[in-house]
Chain A
Amino acid sequence: MTELDATDRAILAALRRDGGLNAKEVGDAIGLSQPAAYRRIKRLEEEGVITGRSLIVDRAALGFEVVVFLGVKLAVRGRASMADFERAVVAIPEVQLVQHVLGVYDYRLKVVARDLADFERILRRRIMTLPGVGDIESNVLLSDEL
C-alpha cells in the first residue's frame, strides 16, 4: 500500500474541496512551493491514489433533470455473465456510475436522464436488455443533502 504522509493528505483534502486547483493553488493552500506540490500531485496520480478528474457541469442547465439509482441483480451468476454485463453497462453513456457490490444487489448504477420518459426509454432499451440482467430496483434522486 502507498504510504501517505500528512502533506499528501493535506493535498488530497484541498483537491477534494476543489478539484480544479492547479499545483500552485494547492501549494498556496497548504504552504508548499509550486514545484513541490506539482511533484507530489504527479506522484499521487502515478501511484493511482488520484484515479481521475471529472468536469462538473450543471445537469439541469444541460437538460438532464432526472437522476436514478438502480440496484441490479444478475439472473445468471458466473464469471462469464459478470464480464458480459460489465462490458456492456459501462458503455452506456447515460450511466455515470457502476459499482460491483455485495448485498441484496450485485451492482449499483447511477443513471442520468432528461426526464422520466427519457429514463423509461433508457431503462427499457438499454438497461433491461443488458446481458444477464435480472431484478432491477429504481430509486429517483430527490436531493443531495451532503
Chain B
Amino acid sequence: MLDDTDRRILRQMQAEPGASVATIAERAGLSHAPCWRRIRKMEEAGVIRGRRITLDRRKMGQEVQVFLRITLDKTARNAFDAFITEARKIPEVEAIQTLLGRVDIRMDVAARDLAHYQQIYRDRIMALPHILDVEALMLVSELKNTESLPI
C-alpha cells in the first residue's frame, strides 16, 4: 500500500519526470537513500510503470491527426474482436479504445497530409468489418496532454 510519503514522491515525479532522485528527495523532504528505495519499490510493484515522451506530430511530418468515433453493428457476432483484429493491422492507427457510451470504439489515425489520410480512410478504415457509422474529429491543437493524476 502507498502511504503519504509515497504519494509526495509521486507528486514530485509527476511534476518533473526527468528530475534526478536527489532533486525529488529534496522536494519531497526526504534524504536520498530512503527516497531511492521507495521509488525502486514503486517501480517493482508496477505503481510506476515508466515514462512517456510527447511529440509534436507536425514537426515529424504528420500534419493530419484524426480521431475516429466508430459505431459497430452489434448484431454481428464477435463484431468487436473482428474489428479490433483488423484495425490493429493498419500502421497509421496509433490507438484503439473500446468505450461505453454513444460510440463503441475510438481510434487515433496519424497521416502525412489530407491526401494520405483520405487514402487510409478509403482503402483501410472503410474496409474494416462491422462498421455501422463513423464520425471524424480532426485535431486543430493540443492544449494539454499529461499522464499526471491528481494525487
Tell me how far the C-beta of B117 lies from the nearest C-beta in chain A, rounded to whole angstroms: 13
- Do A62 and B2 form a contact, CB below 8 Å, given A96-B145, A100-B140, A140-B100? yes
**B37 CB within 8 Å of chain A:** no
- Beta-carbon contacts under 8 Å, B76-135 to A: 84, 87-88, 93-103, 106, 135
Chain B residues whose CB sits within 8 angstroms of the CB of A102 once the complex forms: 137-138, 140
Give 17 new A-B contacts, CB below 8 A, not counting A54-B147, A139-B100, A142-B98.
A1-B58, A2-B59, A4-B61, A19-B50, A52-B146, A53-B54, A54-B148, A56-B52, A57-B47, A69-B99, A90-B144, A100-B139, A108-B137, A112-B150, A142-B100, A144-B95, A146-B95
Contact of A16 among B45, B53, B148 (CB under 8 A): B53
Tell me how far the C-beta of B118 lies from the nearest C-beta in chain A, rounded to whole angstroms: 15
Q: How many A-B residue pairs have CB under 8 A?
A: 185
Residue in chain B with minimal CB distance to A64:
B149
**A80 CB within 8 Å of chain B:** no
A138 CA / B102 CA spacing, docked (Å): 8
* B147–A96 CB distance below 8 A: yes
Number of interface residues of A (CB under 8 A): 56
A137 CA / B71 CA spacing, docked (Å): 15
* B97–A55 CB distance below 8 A: no
A140 CA / B104 CA spacing, docked (Å): 10
Contact of A56 among B51, B67, B103 (CB under 8 A): B51
* B147–A57 CB distance below 8 A: yes
**A61 CB within 8 Å of chain B:** yes
Interface size class of B (residues with CB under 8 A): 35 or more
- Beta-carbon contacts under 8 Å, A62-117 to B: 62, 64, 69, 71, 86, 89-90, 93-105, 108, 112
A108 CA / B84 CA spacing, docked (Å): 22
A-B contact pairs, 29 of them (CB 8 A): A4-B61, A16-B53, A19-B50, A49-B56, A49-B59, A50-B53, A52-B53, A53-B52, A54-B14, A54-B17, A54-B146, A54-B147, A55-B13, A55-B14, A55-B51, A57-B14, A61-B2, A62-B47, A69-B99, A96-B144, A96-B146, A96-B147, A98-B143, A98-B144, A99-B141, A102-B137, A108-B67, A146-B87, A146-B88
